[in-house]
Amino acid sequence: MSESKTASTLKENNSMRALIKRAKFNDHLFGTIGLLCIILILTTLLVLFVDLVVDGFPQLTNGDFYSNFPSRHAARAGLLSALVGSSLVMLVTFISAVPIGVGAAIYLEEYAPKNWLTEIIEVNVTNLAAVPSIIYGLLALGLFVYTFDFGNSILTAGLTLGLLTLPIVIVATRESIRAIPVAIREAAYAVGATKGQVVSQHVVKYSAGGILTGVIIGMARAIGETAPVITIGALTFIAFLPEAPISATPPFLNFEWLTSGFTVLPIQMFSWLSRPSSAFHVNAAAAGAIIILVTLLMNAVAIRMRYNIRKKIKW
């Protein structure tokens, strides 16, 4: 009887070892496949980026390229209006999307009751994050351009890209908040903290790195979008700059730039690519390299800020 039990135990142990061995092999296989996919994607991006830099190098090293307006002569054409336009549009996008998105995510995750209405809102927000950008352009055309009569302006472009970015910010913020252990909330409540104190001083503080990452991802997507701004009527050739947001006279703030015409980096790149001359294609390659560099810089800043936030929390 004891021999049969021993044999059965050995058989179970061997079966368990085989199961563990197979599970480890599957883990290693999945990790290897994931690593190969990442290497493939990064290699593809690197090759494309190097190709853009090589093609656009003459203009990337030309200081006049950053200070000149667009021109029908490729050698004298520059990115000044597109750089300023992109900066102002991103400013409106940030102001219109980030506070509302973060606030909505905090409310849905920490304050909203769990019922059918919030479930519908959650499903729709998640779905909106995957909606093609051209849909937002068509929505903005009917809402901001024709209904609210904002025209083909920086304000319209910023609000359009804000709508595009808003679901991404909400989803990323909610996921960051969910990642905070329940024990942190319970410990705060145990020492007498109120709901507002728990949310502001603990939940938001510890999830700030993830929230920041989501914001940067949304802004990086917005800065490279072309379809929505084409739909609302962005200019492909603009030889003037909007009014400066800050003035030297009281009240020191100027809002006339919100109603100004504009162009952005992707539109300027598209305009140059549509020209038959190869000289304009050099300009387009330089513009594409700059867009990628700006996106990488934004992500680098986000990584650094997230590192600093987590370091402070750890200490």
Structural domain boundaries in the chain: 1-57, 62-314
**CA 153 to chain CA centroid, nearest Å:** 22
Q: What is the CA radius of gyration of the chain?
A: 26
How much of the chain exceeds pLDDT 90, in percent? 3
Out of 5-14, 85-94, 178-187, 229-238, least confident range: 5-14
How much of the chain exceeds pLDDT 70, in percent? 94
The pLDDT of residue 294 is above 50: yes
The pLDDT of residue 315 is above 50: no
The pLDDT of residue 197 is above 60: yes
3 band by pLDDT with thresholds 50, 70 and 90: low
Q: Quick one: pLDDT at residue 196? A: 81
Out of 99-103, 107-111, 233-237, least confident range: 233-237
Copy the structure tokens of residue 202.
């603990």
The pLDDT of residue 105 is above 50: yes
The pLDDT of residue 283 is above 70: yes
The pLDDT of residue 270 is above 80: yes
Query: What kind and span of H or E run contains 100?
Result: helix 80-106
Give residue-wise pLDDT tens across range 161-180. 888 888 888 888 888 888 88
| CATH architecture of the region 62-314 | Orthogonal Bundle (1.10)
Q: Quick one: pLDDT at residue 2? A: 56
Contacts of 84 (CB under 8 A, 6+ apart): 241, 242
Average pLDDT over residues 95-111: 89
For the chain, the average pLDDT equals: 83
Q: Quick one: pLDDT at residue 231? A: 81
Give residue-wise pLDDT tens across range 31-43. 889 899 999 988 9
Distance CA 241, CA 263 (A): 10
Q: Quick one: pLDDT at residue 62? A: 84
pTM for the full model? Answer: 0.82
Q: Quick one: pLDDT at residue 5? A: 58
Query: Could you give the C-alpha distances from 280 to 21, 76, 86, 241, 268, in angstroms and in order?
Result: 59, 10, 20, 22, 11
294: number of Cβ within 10 Å: 18
**CA 142 to chain CA centroid, nearest Å:** 25
Amino acid identity, position 185: R
18 band by pLDDT with thresholds 50, 70 and 90: confident
The pLDDT of residue 7 is above 70: no
